[in-house]
Chains A and B, each alone.
Chain A
């Protein structure tokens, strides 16, 4: 009781400092003591408490006032620092902003990819039911299933609330009164589609899906066909034979959906073409989706389904149906089955992107911290002065951390701006529809905030905590910088620079290797010749007669060498059929892709024979159907090419003879080995199968030839659209993903180099400033400009060299692993690494040289003036 109330005292002590604190507390204490003498402890304490409470506002006001004054000073100093080292600060902020923007873009992309299909309200309960088709040759993992599956699920699986089918013909003709279109995103759908997925109706209704000859369109499709809003009630001609009425317009799916549609036609319409759809267990051409009840269990559903199949379905020997339930949201990233609706990405590539993003961000942050730290080591004098004038440790910490955070926040703002402005460009490159609003979502905001906190802290930590602890005298005398050895050559900083350049060499060399592989695949001998082949793609098997007439007509053109018709061309899918040869068991059928074509096939595509003879118009047998196999097919049966000639070959539709064996050629891209393949000598697979007319041109006068072909077409087939492509371009589409990878590597390689060079530049600048005295002395003692520049540059080039040495083995291993994906691969030559190293070294040297020359040219008088 002889002391003033502790709490109040503590309160005051908290808010005031130094002289203020002493004066106020002292006065309070004095009066307290006097009061205690005259009135006793309790009175005195009561008075003390009331005084403190009444004074709090004023005390706060005081400390805020002084706080503001100091803040004013800090800001002034910070701005002066920036102005003094303008280029420096700009580099710093820019580097961090660039790295952050990169990271944000990639993060947005990854988030987009991971959010596929979640916009449906039942997305966590929707499964795609897929068929694992087990047959003697192996198991085909299909994304599709038979038509009878969905009704069975609806009938007999109680855990399934509703299921629906989607069927997408590979192309289908849709005609308005004036135009005809070949559509590839047209689906036949059960009415239950709207129950499983979310379809947003914009106009009209979905009744078209529940009856024959009804359809709904997306807005884009409606505009394309009708060019106006009044679409409901209009009709379109589908597949040249079905008049279908539009009953409504729906919103198309956003980009993060594993399939996109333009037109939905009712399944009832399809049933007019194939009435037994609901009962047939083959073909498996439907994508079946089921909405399960919340309590459903995949294992039990599979078991029930297995049982049902066993009881209800008759299959040939050696064939088995195994059904899989894949959650809807897993499809995009994990499913790579046959007949997927769209290209799915793999989780691997997302991981790769994620790693790249983190890499770049790490590099940028490291740079930022590096430069900030290095720069602040030059401010030891300022720190010393402040301490002499009475600054407390906390104040110094606050000042330097504050400066660091100022930079960080600035960089973050710039990077967010970059992302928002660049979003449209990014969307077009990546094929996504990400909106700026997604930046405001929880995870993003949190991660941005965390990034700010962390980076600012690390950047400001060195001056704030470390430098502020120095003794003022040593700081003033400039000893501090050399005592800690924190010149621009500190180990940590050196290793960070090495790391950045190692990443850069990885990206440069990586790009080189990817491009190498791409050009290898493009130019490698594929066993056939895709150049100068003009392919007309708008026909179907029904048009065979008209097409033959056309082909005959155009072969009179000088630039047309030969023509052939087939149901597919190299690079495009063809169908697998069951086959058997006499050496196999009666019931043992295997599957082989079959290309339906004619006698001119070999000539147009320039494929070679290994044994036997080509198809020919002279042989009558050929007109009803002879078979050629490729070497791979023959080998898989177990024959030598010559042995195969004359043997019998059975398809389910009937038997024929093998008349020739073709040398293997890469029907598919060089990602894969050559598959076994059979060739039938009639181009018609079934009535509505696609028909491709392939024309080998001499290559002269391409423009005239094209227009000549077109005008002849308009003459003879005015009702069919004239759609075509060049085979070499179409074939190369298979390399799209790889090209994209190369593009990505290039972009990020460039960025990484930019950021690394920024960092290097900053460090070189710093080193030049820090070593001014040393350079001055050297010059005074007779060193040449060249000598100094060389010494300077050599110092840093050592680091770059080390980085290259470290980065090359890592790149080599990674490249080997990536090339494993390809059946045909190029070797990893030494020259890729050589070029990359040279490029990197040159850029780095250029960066350093600017600064080293500047340093070397400085006047020694200026540096030594104050010694």
Chain B
């Protein structure tokens, strides 16, 4: 399956939006705000790793800050393939969402 999952899609969009601020804590905050769900840091990193393995993001290391207890930040950046994957899922969703018949929700 070449389609990315919802979490992966959301994360890629978050990275796209946040540009140079795309590291773990920021991404998580953005997602929590956008989706109103309390994402755990583990899920975020897991998904990021999967994206990295698939080649849709690449990582780089940043500087340590005192707020992080002196630890470095790990930044994530979109790759061309990542953008491509976003476009693909968008296309698929669009085509599915359009031309939907009227749904009769009464129990038959």
0 or 1 for each of A18-42: is its CB under 8 Å from B? (1 = yes): 0110111111111101100000000
Is the CB–CB distance between A29 and B24 below 8 Å? Answer: no
Most chain A CB inside 10 Å of its own CB: which residue of B23, B40, B43, B61:
B40
Is the CB–CB distance between B74 and A22 below 8 Å? Answer: yes
**Of A56-64, A115-123, A237-245, A690-698, the one with at least 4 CB within 8 A of chain B:** A56-64
Is the CB–CB distance between A62 and B45 below 8 Å? Answer: yes
**Interface residue from B28, B40, B49, B68 paired with A26 (Cβ < 8 Å):** B68
Is the CB–CB distance between A51 and B72 below 8 Å? Answer: no
A19 to B41, CA, bound (A): 15
B36 within 8 A of A: no
Chain B, Cβ-Cβ closest to A19:
B74
Is the CB–CB distance between B29 and A31 below 8 Å? Answer: yes
Q: Would you give the shortest CB distance from A41 to chain B, in whole angstroms?
A: 15
Q: Would you give the shortest CB distance from A151 to chain B, in whole angstroms?
A: 85
A176 within 8 A of B: no
Chain B, Cβ-Cβ closest to A21:
B71
**Interface residue from B25, B43, B49, B61 paired with A27 (Cβ < 8 Å):** B25
Is the CB–CB distance between B43 and A55 below 8 Å? Answer: yes
A34 to B66, CA, bound (A): 12
Is the CB–CB distance between A28 and B41 below 8 Å? Answer: yes
Assess A23 versus B74: contact at CB under 8 Å? Given A30-B25, A61-B46, A62-B45. Answer: yes
**Interface residue from A19, A29, A51 paired with B68 (Cβ < 8 Å):** A29
A653 within 8 A of B: no
Is the CB–CB distance between B67 and A30 below 8 Å? Answer: yes
A54 within 8 A of B: yes
Chain A, Cβ-Cβ closest to B70:
A26
A34 to B67, CA, bound (A): 8
Interface size on A, residues (CB 8 A): 25
Residues of chain A contacted by B24 (CB below 8 angstroms) = 23-24, 26-27
Shortest Cβ-Cβ A-B pairs, 7 listed = A55-B42, A58-B42, A26-B68, A26-B71, A27-B24, A27-B25, A23-B74
Assess A29 versus B69: contact at CB under 8 Å? Given A24-B41, A57-B42, A58-B43. Answer: yes
Residues of chain A contacted by B43 (CB below 8 angstroms) = 55, 58
Is the CB–CB distance between B45 and A54 below 8 Å? Answer: no
Assess A55 versus B71: contact at CB under 8 Å? Given A23-B45, A24-B45, A61-B46. Answer: no
B104 within 8 A of A: no
Residues facing A in B43-76 (CB within 8 A) are 43, 45-46, 49, 61, 64-65, 67-69, 71-74
A56 to B67, CA, bound (A): 23
Chain B, Cβ-Cβ closest to A3:
B69
* Contact surface of B with A, Cβ cutoff 8 Å: 23-25, 28-29, 40-43, 45-46, 49, 61, 64-65, 67-69, 71-74
Assess A31 versus B61: contact at CB under 8 Å? Given A25-B71, A26-B72. Answer: no
Residues of chain A contacted by B41 (CB below 8 angstroms) = 24, 27-28, 51, 55
A28 to B41, CA, bound (A): 8
Residues of chain B contacted by A57 (CB below 8 angstroms) = 42
0 or 1 for each of A46-72: is its CB under 8 Å from B? (1 = yes): 000001001111110110000000000
Q: Would you give the shortest CB distance from B84 to chain A, in whole angstroms?
A: 25
Q: Would you give the shortest CB distance from A626 to chain B, in whole angstroms?
A: 108
Q: Would you give the shortest CB distance from A582 to chain B, in whole angstroms?
A: 110
Residues of chain B contacted by A28 (CB below 8 angstroms) = 25, 41
Most chain A CB inside 10 Å of its own CB: which residue of B25, B46, B74:
B25
Apart from the given pairs A54-B42, A57-B42, 10 other A-B contacts in the complex at a CB distance below 8 Å: A26-B24, A28-B25, A29-B71, A30-B67, A33-B67, A51-B40, A54-B40, A55-B42, A58-B40, A61-B46
Contacts between chains A and B (CB distance < 8 A), count:
75
Residues of chain B contacted by A24 (CB below 8 angstroms) = 24, 41-42, 45
Is the CB–CB distance between B71 and A22 below 8 Å? Answer: yes
Q: Would you give the shortest CB distance from A348 to chain B, in whole angstroms?
A: 67
Q: Would you give the shortest CB distance from A139 to chain B, in whole angstroms?
A: 85
Q: Would you give the shortest CB distance from B38 to chain A, in whole angstroms?
A: 8
Residues of chain B contacted by A56 (CB below 8 angstroms) = 42
Is the CB–CB distance between A55 and B25 below 8 Å? Answer: no
A61 to B49, CA, bound (A): 11
Most chain A CB inside 10 Å of its own CB: which residue of B42, B65, B67, B72:
B42
Residues of chain B contacted by A33 (CB below 8 angstroms) = 67
Is the CB–CB distance between B49 and A29 below 8 Å? Answer: no
Assess A30 versus B42: contact at CB under 8 Å? Given A23-B24, A23-B73, A23-B74. Answer: no
**Interface residue from A26, A34, A54, A62 paired with B69 (Cβ < 8 Å):** A26
Q: List 18 A-B contacts (CB under 8 A).
A: A20-B45, A22-B74, A23-B45, A23-B71, A23-B74, A24-B45, A25-B69, A26-B73, A27-B24, A27-B25, A29-B69, A33-B67, A34-B67, A55-B43, A57-B42, A58-B46, A59-B42, A59-B45
Residues of chain B contacted by A61 (CB below 8 angstroms) = 46
Q: Would you give the shortest CB distance from B54 to chain A, in whole angstroms?
A: 14
Q: Would you give the shortest CB distance from A13 to chain B, in whole angstroms?
A: 11
A31 to B67, CA, bound (A): 8
Is the CB–CB distance between B42 and A27 below 8 Å? Answer: no
Q: Would you give the shortest CB distance from B2 to chain A, in whole angstroms?
A: 21
Is the CB–CB distance between B68 and A30 below 8 Å? Answer: yes
Residues of chain B contacted by A58 (CB below 8 angstroms) = 40, 42-43, 45-46
Is the CB–CB distance between A23 and B72 below 8 Å? Answer: yes
A55 to B29, CA, bound (A): 16
Q: Would you give the shortest CB distance from B21 to chain A, in whole angstroms?
A: 12
Residues of chain B contacted by A19 (CB below 8 angstroms) = 61, 74
Most chain A CB inside 10 Å of its own CB: which residue of B24, B25, B41:
B41
A20 to B24, CA, bound (A): 11
Residues of chain A contacted by B73 (CB below 8 angstroms) = 23, 26-27
A312 to B74, CA, bound (A): 102
Residues facing B in A605-655 (CB within 8 A) are none
Q: Would you give the shortest CB distance from A293 to chain B, in whole angstroms?
A: 70
**Interface residue from A25, A27, A34 paired with B23 (Cβ < 8 Å):** A27
Residues of chain B contacted by A29 (CB below 8 angstroms) = 67-69, 71
A51 to B46, CA, bound (A): 14
A28 to B71, CA, bound (A): 11
Residues of chain A contacted by B71 (CB below 8 angstroms) = 22-23, 25-26, 29
Chain A, Cβ-Cβ closest to B48:
A23
Residues of chain A contacted by B42 (CB below 8 angstroms) = 24, 54-59
Residues of chain A contacted by B25 (CB below 8 angstroms) = 26-28, 30-31
Chain B, Cβ-Cβ closest to A36:
B67
Q: Would you give the shortest CB distance from B4 to chain A, in whole angstroms?
A: 18
Chain A, Cβ-Cβ closest to B72:
A22
A59 to B43, CA, bound (A): 8
A18 to B61, CA, bound (A): 12
Residues of chain A contacted by B69 (CB below 8 angstroms) = 3-4, 25-26, 29
Chain A, Cβ-Cβ closest to B53:
A65
Chain A, Cβ-Cβ closest to B75:
A23
Chain A, Cβ-Cβ closest to B46:
A58
A711 to B106, CA, bound (A): 112
Q: Would you give the shortest CB distance from B89 to chain A, in whole angstroms?
A: 23
A865 to B104, CA, bound (A): 81
A61 to B47, CA, bound (A): 12
